[in-house]
């Protein structure tokens, strides 16, 4: 069974061929650590004093891929494996984007992407 990264890579390639005048972005989200001071240790590690986590990137639930089609139409694609299920935050985000009139949905293949874009 293909993993999510492989499905996403295939969709990105197929999308660029099918929509050469559109833009497609991979959206990255992450978590890091910061603190009041950072010390670099001789072994290459670091020590963070008074550490606290911080989130980077877009809000929780934001789709894996974001496209802008010619004419300015925004599309939001949550990529999943055949058995993968979106989180409640992802479902909520897709619902909000759809409510604003943007094509948005879960895609497991380029066929799903086309269905989402065409509103089927």
pLDDT digits (tens, 9 = 90+) for 70-96: 999 999 999 999 999 999 999 999 999
Q: Which domains are present in the chain?
A: 1-27+62-120 (3.40.1350.10), 29-60 (no CATH)
Pairing of strands 104-107, 73-79: parallel
Q: What is the pTM of this model?
A: 0.83
CA distance 9 to 14: 9
- Please determine, for residue 107, whether its predicted confidence score (pLDDT) is greater than 80: yes
Looking at residue 116, its pLDDT comes to 98
CA atoms of 51 and 1, how far apart (whole Å): 40
3-state SS assignment for residue 108: coil
pLDDT, tens only, 28-47: 888 899 999 999 999 999 99
Q: Residue 104 corresponds to which tokens in the numbers above?
A: 């948005």
User: Which residue, among 109, 108, 76, 71, has the nearest Cα to 93 in the 3D structure?
Assistant: 76
The pLDDT of 60-69, averaged and rounded, is 96
């Amino acid at each position: 069974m293909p993993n999510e990264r492989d499905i996403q890579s295939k969709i990105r390639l197929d999308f660029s061929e099918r929509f050469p005048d559109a833009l497609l972005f991979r959206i990255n989200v992450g978590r890091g650590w910061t603190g009041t001071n950072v010390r670099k240790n001789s072994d290459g590690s670091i020590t963070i004093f008074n550490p606290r986590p911080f989130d980077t990137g877009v809000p929780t639930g934001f789709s894996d891929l974001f496209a802008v089609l010619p004419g300015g139409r925004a599309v939001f694609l949550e990529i999943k494996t055949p058995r993968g299920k979106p989180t409640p935050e992802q479902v909520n985000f897709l619902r909000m984007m759809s409510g604003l009139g943007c094509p948005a949905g879960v895609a497991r293949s380029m066929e799903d992407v086309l269905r989402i874009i065409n509103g089927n």
